[in-house]
Structure 1
Amino acid sequence: MAAPAHTSMRFVKRLSSPSPGADRAIRSLIAALLTILGGLLVGPVPARARLVQADLAHVAVAPPPSARVPLELAVTDARTGRATTLGQALGGRAALLLPVDYTCGNVCDPMVSMAADALAATGLAAEHYAFVLVGIDPRDDAAAARRMLAETLGDRAAGIRPLLVSDAALAALTGALGYKAVYDSGTDSFAHPAAAMLLAGDGRVARVLSPLALTGRDLRLALTEAGEGRVGSLADRLTLLCYGYDAARGLYTPLVQRILTVTGIATILGIGLLIVGLTRRTRLRAG
């Protein structure tokens, strides 16, 4: 195991020593980095996926007319471990209900964070609304829910109610909401809508919102209307997937690809700055 480290040290010494081979090594490294960058910009190598387009066609949220969540639904508060009902968790207030996978490695964390930021930007007091998370993976336990909140929001997680539900309760809730997710055993993840349900105090679905496109001003207005019992028009279908890659084509989604590209560019720029510094050091020693 010592051989790779020894080789790396020799390479660094070669870059930092005033020798004709140093310039050639630098040029070769730059060429290799440019090749990697070109690959990131063109696109990643297709990955195998278990889900196909026919599976993803079912992933959406389409609430039926007069949709209403079952307030008597049995749930468990992941913070306290106590059994309660969805109605008690909502407390008769207008609420933002966000179905999430507590162990998701894709878009769930940003959804929760951006929704929390938008709620804070409304300027409304916390007692005027409820922010409830419902786990869509019955295998996730209370520790997973608490860990997600701690890692994603830290101190901003106060007041958020993370709930756990059984398979039967989840089926009842998603059925009432017209919410459909698909499990991918190949990646042990869910393809599911990145959607939040805005609920009136009596549990009626007032609106379907995208947590990734919420603003404090719009959310304040929607919460105020929901708090007054006014229900807006529902989107017919929302198919913004919380999924790491396009399983039908085996390619990363544009969002994830942009993240990978930016990260790759930042890494390459950092290495480039290191190379420039080593080159200057070499020239100063040679002079």
Structure 2
Amino acid sequence: MRRALLLLALVLWPALASAGLTEQEIGRVAFDPPADAHVPLALPFTNLDGHAVSVRDAIDGRPTLLIPADFTCRQICGPALTIASSALQQTGLAAGRDYSLVIVGIDPRDSREHARRFTEGQIGQAGTAVLTGTPDTVRTLLNSIGYHTAFDGSRDALAHPAAFVTLAPDGRVVRALSSLALQPGDLRLALLEAGNGRIGGLPGRIALLCYGFDAVHGIYTSRIAAILRLLGATTVATMAGLIGLSLVRGKRRGASA
């Protein structure tokens, strides 16, 4: 129930009341990894200390969870990082030994200070890299994994998918994961697959957006609406079960008295 309530809170995050993006532009925002997706290892970024770091340096020869993030996002990115951090802790795997965690800023305008505030208290130091890059570098990385965004100038906001990706040590994309449905078991399996060089099941398209509220029509997108209905039904069923259990216990106490 706690997980259901958390997910419900995420999809009900303060919604976008208006948008400068057209319906067609929003429709192009998705995570659609090509079959041979491969991150260029030589791409240069900058870490939180201001040092130049390549993707190869950040991966450091380990299977990797790559998280594209908008460091100033006020929708789902922050809570999604919390979910990912919690899931990683429950995998039984150790950062810096079994896997690397790489968080890349998708908005080149974000500074290292934005990145530091975004990740503060959420992640450890071992095996973790938080990176910012130039517009060309960021664009090259996102295009290589099929991660498509759109900038809404009227709101100074970046519409983007709510999704992560696991990489093999050579930069190959192994599995794409939705940040709204991330389970520790699935994440552990994805990292183990990446470590063994296996290619998991890449979904054809992940279109759960941080822009999940369809501001063009003023309604939730069909995927978000489906999640809301499912979580609502789960919450009601759970509450009904708890109430029923409480009534049974109350009757038993009365009978024993």
Deviates more, 1:46-55 or 1:167-176: 46-55
Selected match of 1:241 from 209, 221, 236: 209
| Paired residues, number | 210
Q: After TM superposition, list the pairs within 5 Å mapping 1:147-226 onto structure 2.
A: 147-150=117-120, 154=121, 156-159=123-126, 160-226=128-194
Which residue does the alignment assign to 2:92?
Answer: 123
Alignment counterpart, residue 136 of structure 1, candidates 106, 110, 113:
106
Structure 2, unmatched stretches of 5+, are 1-13, 229-257
Query: How far, CA to CA, are the matches of 2:161 and 2:82 in structure 1?
Result: 16
In the TM superposition, what whole-angstrom CA distance separates every residue of 1:202-259 from its partner, at most 9, and x where no partner exists? Answer: 110001001221222221122111101111121111100012632221346768xx8x
Q: Residues 52 and 247 of structure 1 are in contact (CA less than 8 Å); yes or no, is this contact kept in structure 2?
A: no
Closer, same or farther: CA 196–46 of 1 in aligned 2, 3 Å: closer
Query: Letter of the aligned partner of 1:214 in structure 2?
Result: L
Q: For residue 57 of structure 1, what is the aligned residue in structure 2?
A: 27
Residues of 2 paired with 1:168 and 1:130: CA distance?
24
* Shift, 1:70, TM fit: 0.5
Larger helix share, 1 or 2: 1
- Structure 2 CA distance for aligned equivalents of residues 226 and 45 of structure 1: 35
Partner amino acid, structure 2, of 1:63: P
User: In the alignment, is residue 101 of structure 1 matched against residue 70 of structure 2?
Assistant: yes
Q: Deviations over 1:161-199 (max 9, x none)?
A: 110011111111111111110011122111101010111
Query: What 5-or-longer segments of structure 1 have no aligned partner?
Result: 1-43, 259-287
Larger radius of gyration: 1
Q: CA RMSD in A?
A: 2.2
Q: Secondary structure at the match of 2:160?
A: strand
Structure 1 segments (4+ residues) deviating >4 Å = 251-255
Contact conserved, 2:16 with 2:215, CA < 8 A, in 1?
Answer: no
TM-score by length of 1: 0.69
